[in-house]
Structure 1
Amino acid sequence: MPRTIALVTDSTAYLPPATAARHRITVVPLTVVLGGRPFEDGTEESARRLAQALHQRQPVTTSRPSPEDFAAAYREAAEAGARGIVSLHLSAEISGTYDAAVLAAREAPVPVRVVDSGMVAMALGFCVLAAAEAAEAGGSLDEAVAVAVKRAESTRAYFYVDTLEHLRRGGRIGTARALLGSALAVKPLLELAEGRIELREKVRTASRAIARLEELAASQAGAGPVDIAVHHLAAEERAAQLADRLRQRLPGLAALHVSEVGAVLGAHTGPGLLGAVVSPR
């Protein structure tokens, strides 16, 4: 029997492929352009090519899916039996993906509720999973949307990056903030605030910044049931260590995901990224 409500998201949710498949979540990929060649976000090849491009200082840009990409996903969901679609996407403050989905939704064969999560990475992914679980439990379109919005409101995402230069080049953080963060070799801690990437704190060394990242995540998690994601880019050992420490100190930990981000987010952060997403249940 087909599920009544279908879920669509974009590749910046960085959901594990097996998880997306299990919950029948359609993932529409963004594109990263490396040295003039386009690659789909979320593939091993795009990640490998990104590392090469950044190392060689080649031009790197990203682009949203087209409205036609979303229209195709909506048609397929409707043909599979969906009577409504929840389409959840990364923050409209940092990408035009939401706008493309809105355009496609106007011509969709079934009602589509497009939601700007204000999030990215598993901060978006946890919202998508919450909506999927609501739909699987027989929830209505409005109920699935409400669950996702509530989850987004309680979710926090913190990131450490080695430099703000990549974010400055991509226009995701202001030049003044980037220069401030670069002064005196300060290591920046960032957070998602109202859908934007903001400089939260400036810390003197990488080790102190990572310790502070752990403290922020643990404080936000509290003692209640919580899902955690640790993200990285070319920093696997750091991510494993952070995940182990959070696993030890969070009594209410429900699920812990550790993953490397894809090429689209990586293009704007650069190697060395370490992130912690805290999403209370």
Structure 2
Amino acid sequence: MAVALVTDSSACLDPAEAERRGIDVAPLHVLRDGRDYREGVDVMPEDLAGATTAGASPAELRGVYGHALERSEGDGVVAVHISRPLSGTWEAARNAAKDFGGRVRIVDSRSTAMGLGFAVLAAADESARGADLDAVYEVAVDSAARSRCFIVVDSLENLRRGGRIGTAAALLGTALSIKPVLHLHEGRLVVREKTRTATKARTKMLDAAVDAAGDPDPAARTRSRPVDLAVHHFRSPDVAESVAQRLGTMIETADGVRVTEFDAVLGVHVGPGAIGVVVSPRVQEREETEGFSTGSH
């Protein structure tokens, strides 16, 4: 058949697109008022104040992997998941995969949202071309490693409370009234730059996205590399559309800009008003033009 792809709901993929591309999505969980809500399965509460989150369990992932492996008719499964430092999902995935005799390969994307989503889509493209399990895995690893994720939030308190950012960094946004630009570095959310206003922070975020779209080698720096772009938001669609328009004019090599809302699990941590940008240079063009060799996680 073909290698099957699995991810989790933090990838923020459109459900119709995931179904069309043959990607199984394991739900992450929002916990509020004693109830467990599964992302993409249950209707989420409108008010997420005080909610917490949980990753997918090994039992849940075994079920998803088993279904995907059956669908692949034995060709195997590549499962690309949210960054290990951000969730217990990767550890649960590693435990679940042990039951499938090497036919399920796990990728720590070291990312989330479309930093994870673009890696899954690139791997799905490779599978559709008839690639084997090892090749699909390598494309997922490579694409995830290329992606860069930046985010500006209205408040760092939710991230501090959920343990996704340190207390010292959170103080920047409270006692010092700083609006930091955050980014994912080695799978962790850290402060990249400090600004005084949300407008300046979003401008700095866009500048960082433009840099990420160029060649990392200063001797060969160019803006000609095709890239995939996404703008995420949590309950701030108008700002997201404005950011997407600016981003599209700044990076001309993108074939449009996806605009999508953070899923509820991510929304619990980033809070209302959060805006994120994901830049993902495409794997195929890079390999063909520069002879890039893949690595592994």
User: Aligned-pair distance for 1:82?
Assistant: 3.8
Residue 126 of structure 2 corresponds to residue 134 of structure 1: yes
Pick the aligned partner of 2:69 from 68, 78, 97: 78
Distance in 2 (CA, whole Å) between partners of 1:109 and 1:209 is 47
Cα distance change of structure 1 residues 143 and 255 upon mapping to structure 2, 3 Å threshold: farther
Which residue matches 2:289? none
CA contact (8 A) 1:78 1:110 kept: no
Which residue matches 1:53? 48
User: Aligned-pair distance for 1:53?
Assistant: 3.1
Which residue identity is paired with 1:63?
A
Distance in 1 (CA, whole Å) between partners of 2:104 and 2:263 is 27
Which residue identity is paired with 1:20?
A
User: Aligned-pair distance for 1:185?
Assistant: 1.2
Which residue matches 2:257? 256
User: Aligned-pair distance for 1:22?
Assistant: 1.5
Which residue identity is paired with 1:79?
E
Which residue matches 2:173? 181
User: Aligned-pair distance for 1:44?
Assistant: 8.0
1:1-281 equivalent positions in 2, closer than 5 A: 3-42=1-40, 45-46=43-44, 49=45, 51-54=46-49, 59-80=50-71, 81-108=73-100, 111-222=103-214, 223=223, 224-281=225-282
Equivalent pairs, count: 272
Distance in 2 (CA, whole Å) between partners of 1:44 and 1:38 is 9
CA contact (8 A) 2:75 2:132 kept: no
User: Aligned-pair distance for 1:183?
Assistant: 2.9
Cα distance change of structure 1 residues 239 and 259 upon mapping to structure 2, 3 Å threshold: same
User: Aligned-pair distance for 1:260?
Assistant: 0.6
CA contact (8 A) 1:14 1:42 kept: no
Residues 215-224 or 66-75, more deviating? 215-224
CA contact (8 A) 1:31 1:41 kept: yes
Residues 124-133 or 78-87, more deviating? 78-87
User: Aligned-pair distance for 1:259?
Assistant: 0.4
CA contact (8 A) 1:228 1:277 kept: yes
Distance in 2 (CA, whole Å) between partners of 1:220 and 1:20 is 26
Which residue identity is paired with 1:206?
A
Deviation per residue, 1:219-270 (Å, 9 max, x gap): 2223210000000001111100011111122221124210011110000111
Gaps of 5+ in 2: 215-222, 283-297
Deviation per residue, 1:8-58 (Å, 9 max, x gap): 110000111122111100000000012221111246831xx2x4232xxxx
Give the TM-score, by structure 2 length.
0.88
Distance in 1 (CA, whole Å) between partners of 2:55 and 2:268 is 14
SS at structure 2 position matched to 1:210: helix
Distance in 2 (CA, whole Å) between partners of 1:219 and 1:64 is 32
Which residue identity is paired with 1:77?
A
Distance in 2 (CA, whole Å) between partners of 1:267 and 1:28 is 18
CA contact (8 A) 1:85 1:110 kept: no
Distance in 1 (CA, whole Å) between partners of 2:87 and 2:238 is 30
CA contact (8 A) 1:78 1:109 kept: no
Distance in 1 (CA, whole Å) between partners of 2:102 and 2:70 is 10
Gaps of 5+ in 1: none
